[in-house]
Chains A and B, each alone.
Chain A
Amino acid sequence: MTALATDRVRERGVPLDRRDALPAVMVALMVAHVVLKVLIYSRTSHADVVGDERYYLDAGRALSNLVRDAAALTSPDSVELSRDVVGNGWFMPGMALVLTPLFIVDPGASMEVVRAYLGVVSTLLFFAAVLAVRRVLGVQYAIALLVFPGLVPMWAIFSFAAWGDLTAGTMVVFLVVEVVAMTRVVQQGAAPTLAQGARLGLIAIAVVYLRSSALVLVAGVVATLVIVTLLVLPRSEWVRGAKAFVAAAAVFVALLAPWSWAASDVLGARVVTTTSVPTALANTFGEPDRLCFGPCDPDSTEWFGPVRYAREVARATGGSEVDVLKEMSDYALVGVTASSYTDDVLENVDRYVMEPERFQRFVRSPGVSEDDASERLLSAATHWLFFTALVAGLLGMLRAWRGPLDRQVLRIVTTVGLAALFVQPFVHVSGARYWTTAAPLLALSAVLLLPRAWPRSAQPAEPVVNPVVLHGLYVVQIALAAAVLLLGLALYTVAKA
């Protein structure tokens, strides 16, 4: 018995008594997270609506009216839905759906109430993600999440805000957990169930609704799972496996369709997720003075000016503003050279990672001074926790793992997910809130750095998975690590040059 116990202890890589302490540490960190949020709320509650938050709040209000009309069996206010939910077609209404219940109960909710509601919802969702991680990956991973981003002041501030980046990041955790759980079923030689497939589709579309650019991440992570399943599953199980993925795709498409249909109908062109890509590319890499076939109106922003212009052209020609936006973007991008592109990417990378606390000054109640000692403490804490996690997460990406399928898949989807989110600075003006989508994945990646911190899983006595597949995946991990290293070196070299 003693030998067996010792074996098990060695297998986990953590001495028994410390393992017993870990759940207590987890609970303590959850309490700390709540305390942090309460403290942060006191300096954030009166912060006025900022930037794109306006859209999410308006869309939430309009959706609450849609529910009212449906309940009263009256026809919906299509003008309001077109203007406030579809809007310019830039954002999918994920956060609007999150806010809808609030605006049903309190149609005139003040900013304090909106921020309190978002704070509570984000905490519940975060804790649900932490518990799912604990169940499937183990307590060390859950603790990592509770430290980063759980203890990061700026994460807590963002959790009271209506942008979807943070919530998308939390949903990505559910996606990874689901993928690992499905991998474990496959690893035992069985196909994932229809229910698992449907849940995967549901989580995937939730991520996309919250942050449409995370479509790349969803595609990468799900594609990894599909390929691994096909490689590993015995042929007798292929049909059942295919059914699970068809269920996932069906749920995904069925829930994407209402948005795509509404946006396409209102804007008069095919819109799948967002219309913002052409303008984003033009604003990031193009020549601003060509975007409106000349300069855009100087009284507006780089986002609203081009849309107004495109609407004016569409009005004059009877066409669609979405098609005009594409032509505008192509024209603005004509002069892009390798060196102008590289400079812009470097600027984007800089904005993406170098000032994680930037939004602290925007999401702040009036009267809270920037020079306040507590404000400085918050930004310093954000800064240090973020860069520690960034370095640890990146180093974690360099580690390849042999062994069971679920470990290898976790390693691969973490890297694929982070890489997919890092596509952003290469195609889009980046901002200091995008890191919140990547933060949970960085934490999971950082845990993979710990010696023998593999996820807990009951392994079958006999390996079902073909060793060739396992070796192949190991090689894939090494290739991914090499690619990360090369990209890092390339960025460093170019930035220094």
Chain B
Amino acid sequence: MSVPSSRAGAPSVADDASAAGGRFRRSRLVWAAAAAVVVVLVATSNLYGRAEPTGRYRPDLPADVLTTGCYPLPSGVRFDFPYQVRSDEDLSGGRRHLLLQFDVIDPTTARAEVTAAFAEAGFRPSPAGDATSDLVLVRAVSGGSPATVGVTVRPIPGVAPDAVVRGTIDLDLPSVPLSSAAAVCAEPSSTKRFTDEDGSS
């Protein structure tokens, strides 16, 4: 058996030193080349036009349906507390179920806010009451039967007292037809009027 080459045997100190020197030079060369590529890229970056991201991973936040005019609240009603619409659907008998969640305020305040918002638009508490709603409000309609609204305010069970989202407001309203031709009215993400098809997607 002959003397093994340094490749097969343990590398000698001299081999290591020269190999390390070679690596050092090579790594400097690599860094210099990388820097040159970066400089060229930056310098030529405006020659080929701009890139156009699709933006599909962060679509614009859909507008709040109660502000778009697509399916408005009864005329004159405006909620002045933090809420988000969770669902909106037409029921049989010309009624509409609008589900909101209220944020940051407690249920008592939420109930007072909703009542005040309807009161400002001319609704008055109805003595008749209703089996499914906590509170029934009525407004006379000239030449027709009065508009009635059922309001039920509930805390969300199990949320902390200082949580952001605190409770739900179920509104039983008279149905309204689509009242705007805006494109956003066709977006379930804004109107919160979901169909079975939306659920399966």
Bound Cα distance from A292 to B99, whole angstroms: 13
A297 interface residue per 8 A CB criterion: yes
Which of B69-77, B120-128, B157-165 faces chain A? B157-165
Query: Contact: A67 with B4, CB < 8 Å?
Result: no
Query: B201 near A299 (CB under 8 angstroms)?
Result: yes
Categorize the interface residue count of chain A: 35 or more
A239 at the interface (CB under 8 A from B): no
Contacting pair B159 A20 (CB below 8 A): no
Say whether, besides A19-B8, A317-B104, A107 and B188 are in contact (CB < 8 Å): no
> Which of chain A's residues have a CB closer than 8 A to the CB of B142?
none
A71 within 8 A of B: yes
A62 adjacent to B164 (CB under 8 Å): no
- Considering only residues 446-464 of chain A, those with a C-beta below 8 Å from chain B are 458
- Residues of chain A in range 327-376 having any CB-CB distance to chain B below 8 Å: 327-328, 331, 334
Please tell me which one of the listed residues A61, A292, A298 contacts residue B194 in the complex, with CB atoms under 8 A apart.
A298
Q: Which of B11, B45, B168, B201 contacts A67 (CB 8 A)?
A: B45
Contact A5–B192 (Cβ < 8 Å): no
Contacts of A236 in B (CB 8 A): none
Given contacts A294-B101, A317-B82, contact A72 B48 (CB under 8 A): no
Given A20-B8, A84-B57, A61 contacting B52 (CB threshold 8 A): yes
| Set B11, B45, B55: member contacting A71, Cβ < 8 A | B45
Chain B count of residues within 8 A CB distance of the other chain = 53
Specify which of A8, A16, A59, A64 is in contact with B10 (CB 8 Å cutoff): A8
Q: Are B8 and A58 in contact (CB under 8 A)?
A: no
B53 within 8 A of A: yes
| A319 contacts partner chain B, Cβ-Cβ < 8 Å | yes
Q: Are B46 and A309 in contact (CB under 8 A)?
A: no
Within 8 A of A (CB), among B152-201: 156, 158-159, 163-165, 168, 188-189, 192, 194, 198-199, 201
A302, CB-defined interface residue at 8 Å? no
Closest B residue, CB atoms, query A88: B58
Whether A107 touches B52, Cβ cut-off 8 Å, given contacts A8-B10, A297-B194, is yes
In the complex with contacts A61-B52, A294-B168, A331-B43 CB distance below 8 A? no
Complex CA gap A58/B56 in Å reads 8
Whether B68 is near chain A, meaning CB under 8 Å from some CB there, is no
B16 within 8 A of A: yes
B112 within 8 A of A: no
B83 at the interface (CB under 8 A from A): yes
Q: Given known contacts A67-B45, A315-B84, A318-B82, what 15 new A-B pairs fall within 8 Å (CB)?
A: A54-B57, A55-B57, A68-B45, A103-B51, A104-B45, A107-B51, A297-B198, A299-B199, A313-B84, A313-B103, A313-B164, A313-B165, A316-B103, A327-B163, A327-B165
28 residue pairs A–B, Cβ–Cβ below 8 Å: A5-B9, A9-B8, A16-B8, A19-B8, A54-B54, A57-B53, A58-B53, A58-B57, A62-B51, A62-B53, A71-B42, A83-B55, A87-B57, A101-B41, A107-B50, A293-B101, A293-B156, A294-B101, A297-B194, A298-B198, A311-B61, A312-B61, A312-B64, A313-B84, A313-B164, A313-B165, A315-B84, A316-B103
Please report A residues at the B interface, Cβ cutoff 8 Å.
Answer: 1-2, 5-6, 8-9, 11, 16, 19-20, 54-55, 57-62, 64-65, 67-68, 70-72, 80, 83-84, 87-88, 101, 103-108, 135, 292-294, 297-300, 308-309, 311-313, 315-319, 323-324, 327-328, 331, 334, 458
Give residues in B with beta carbon < 8 Å to A. Answer: 1-4, 7-11, 16, 23, 37, 41-46, 48-58, 61-62, 64, 82-84, 86, 101, 103-104, 156, 158-159, 163-165, 168, 188-189, 192, 194, 198-199, 201
